[in-house]
Amino acid sequence: MGPQFTAALQLASELHAAQFRKGTRTPYIAHLLAVAALVIEAGGDEEAAIAALLHDAVEDQGGQPTLDLIRDRFGPRVASIVAGCTDADTVPKPPWRARKEAYIAQIPHKSADELLVSVADKVHNARAILADYKVIGEPLWGRFTGGREGTLWYYRALADAFRGRAPKALSSALDQAVAEMELAAGAG
């Protein structure tokens, strides 16, 4: 990783400085670093890793102007990957279920780069949900707009949609994390 990766890390740190993981005091940058690590470990190149660091920037930190900034600083490929990982770039966001259904419907049309970063994001999220569920139990679901049923539905639908499309190691990791989440929650 070179100076562009370092610049992306700096930008991600600045954009998400005041943000924490849902229901925790864990700085959001921890998630972005974990997703970037998964992308790199799966063979992603520097631009894919940069997109992993910035994958939530448009959705959470400024919409289209942020995407334009990413394109200007890191090029069209990074911007395209980030855009492909964004389920909403407007405030207020569209209704939760409709956004999630639209995101799932787009998975078959995503590029290989978008699939790589997107599935890495979902793997880390599912693992974090599972780990927190093991500590917190049922109150965990209150963190999520979809609640228990919606969150379990969404992650199962994601795992099914990524299977056979995304890199096998990551899609298998997502499927495993979701199955464990369903089992722990008594839904599997």
Among this protein's residues, is 87 annotated catalytic? no
Helices (H), 2-146: 3-15, 29-41, 46-54, 57-60, 64-74, 76-84, 96-106, 112-136
- Tokens found for residue 37: 């690590």
Q: Say whether 180 is catalytic.
A: no
Tokens of 59: 């959705």
d(CA 53, CA 51): 5
The identity of residue 41, as a single letter, is E
Find the radius of gyration of the CA atoms of the chain: 16
Catalytic-role residue among 46, 60, 101, 182: 60
Name the active-site residue from 47, 59, 113, 114: 59
Between CA 119 and CA 35 the distance in angstroms is 9
Q: d(Cα 182, Cα 188) in Å, to the nearest integer?
A: 4
Token pair, residue 115, equals 């699939």
> Which residues are annotated as catalytic?
59-60
